[in-house]
A = this chain, B = another copy of it.
């Protein structure tokens, strides 16, 4: 079977727990690699260059686009966000399953360029739970919470573009679901055309 790693796109509602899920996967299994995006937005307090994002200038970003150094990129609230190609390809070649946490614009680019990529959408079990989680942080104003919920309503428009829903109710179950879905995706026929071609030819040459 195919030895290369699998490219997995993880999108989902803000507040649904994408970050915690990814951390869970990375700490529990050693076959995953997390892609770090590039952005032109300014670092927030506590963010470290190369950890949350690679923080670069608009000129550098546009040069990267021109040079074909990004496998996807999108603009959001006036800033660029994109995924560096080299890191992703190196990790996939080394057999690592690469996780990309990106928005729908980028997810759709990945789906088009890499049809074998797996697209997962992380959600709470219902809207009420999402509202409670966003409020529960207790750190945001009503206005910010309202904006986030409006954003979630927009994000929900694209769910059908994703292959699987990851319903983050119980965290441990959810990490296991995600791991199983990614690992079993390697058994897809569409991903194993070399294997199929070989067994077909061998059977014909008997």
Contact = CB atoms under 8 A, between A and B. Distances in A.
Interface of A: 1, 121, 123, 126-128, 130-131, 146, 149, 152-153, 156-157, 159-160, 162-167, 177, 180-181, 184, 187-190, 192-193, 195-196, 198-200, 202-204, 206
| 10 cross-chain pairs, A with B, having the tightest CB-CB distances, nearest first | A127-B202, A153-B203, A156-B200, A164-B187, A159-B196, A181-B184, A153-B204, A127-B203, A180-B180, A127-B199
Contacts of A126: 198-199, 202
Contacts of A177: 184, 187
- Oligomer copy total: 2
A47 B198 CA distance: 36
Nearest to A205: B127
Given A164-B184, A180-B184, A199-B127, A189 B152 contact: no
